[in-house]
Structure 1
Amino acid sequence: MRLTVGPHRPSVYWRRRALVAIGLAVLVLLGWLAVRGSGGSKPAAVSSTPAAASGQPAPVTSAPGDLASPSFVQATPDPSTTPSMVHSPPPSNVAPCGDDQIAVTVTTSPSPGVVGGTFTFSVAIVSTAGDWCSRDLGSGAQEVRVLRDGALMYSSDDCSSGRTSDVRAFAAGDAVRYRYTWSSYRITPHNCTLAKTPAQPGTYQVVARVGTKVSAPVDFIINR
């Protein structure tokens, strides 16, 4: 059976068909290699988590409350430098105020408070002297204590980072007030570390001290 048509010998046409078949085979092979080269190796996996997420701080696991080291914060200006005070400047040499020449009182807010809450103690220091006198109001001289049934639970001295001195001059009747914040998770005597559990419901007392002058104890309540 002859499958060639034309003036040439059959071998010429067979060679032409072979060349066409080889060309088609080469094209198919090149196409297959191209497809394999583009999809054969997978890119490295990229995390779906945004880059910023890896820089987020770890969750805080400390007990709630006031985490920073507490300190005394003056709530009213220095009485010797307040323009509204109607008196002459203090003399160059002001005698120290004796304990009988100042009054120290303390109040608590809130009271009652709640378990795990933070409480602000307001300490007022008033001169009862008849003339100018001076008193050290630095962190080394001031202290607040939290007690329960007379037993010490907390002292601000345990969290004091430095015992500084700050001598202030008082005219007769001058007053200055300080605030101190206490976390009810600070309940271990002689230790500033936050406890795992806060002070439990009950009645507590706070006492303020300025040097050797100590206020009367004041009750405050913690409720559930």
Structure 2
Amino acid sequence: MEKVIGALWAPAGESREAFGAGLLASLPDALHRAGARGLRLNLRDAAIAAGDGLVQQWQAPQQDAVVQFWLPSANARFRGAIDAVLAAHSARFALWLACESTIIANAAHPVQPGARTWGWSQSSFIAFRPDLTREAAIAHWHSHHTRVAIETQSNFEYVQNLFVRPLTEGAPDYAAFVEECFPLEALTQPEVFFDAVGDPARFDANLAAMMDSCHGFLDFTKADIIPTSQFDFTHLD
């Protein structure tokens, strides 16, 4: 099986809330019928509106939703039905083949079939520093930054998706997609995000460690980081 990450754009003039509601209503069933498994949607809905200040933007317009799923083969020859479903549900989509690494599995707040997962999901499309080789950037990410992200944040799920290659023409040049889930309060309270409620010294240390590590491998000019609501549809399998 191969994992696919997809970015979806809403039609011009359609609100993200309306776009997301439409995706929830029919996209999971349609993709499942087309052969997708392990489905997950990440939507920019009203539940995460308070986190607009956390958005980092490269693409204009920025993607309005994310879809994650698995296929027996992501080869274009066998993906026609999938692409047709995505085209029917969005104004534009981009796909990448991904290698998934689950750093923190969500055991604290288990998903419910088709329902919004507790808290919120930071959905991050990232690129590596151009002055580093891909190998050097991955080495920093895996050998150093992963530990920092675990130790300095209140994330209860953390999944790294290293992009193997783009699957669609014109897909933005990202290196990876990262999903991290946090308590809802972390949308507006940095001390919650950095697991330092009531401890200013710990907050300062955690923030500094995170920023230092991020600067060690990320290209901040090519990042799209969006707060989302997570919806899991693995029950369809």
Place the TM-score, normalised by the shorter chain, in its bin. Answer: under 0.3
Larger radius of gyration between Structure 1 and Structure 2: 1
What is the TM-score with the length of structure 1 in the denominator? Answer: 0.22
Which protein has greater RCO, CA pairs closer than 8 Å, 6+ apart? 2
Greater helix percent: which structure?
2
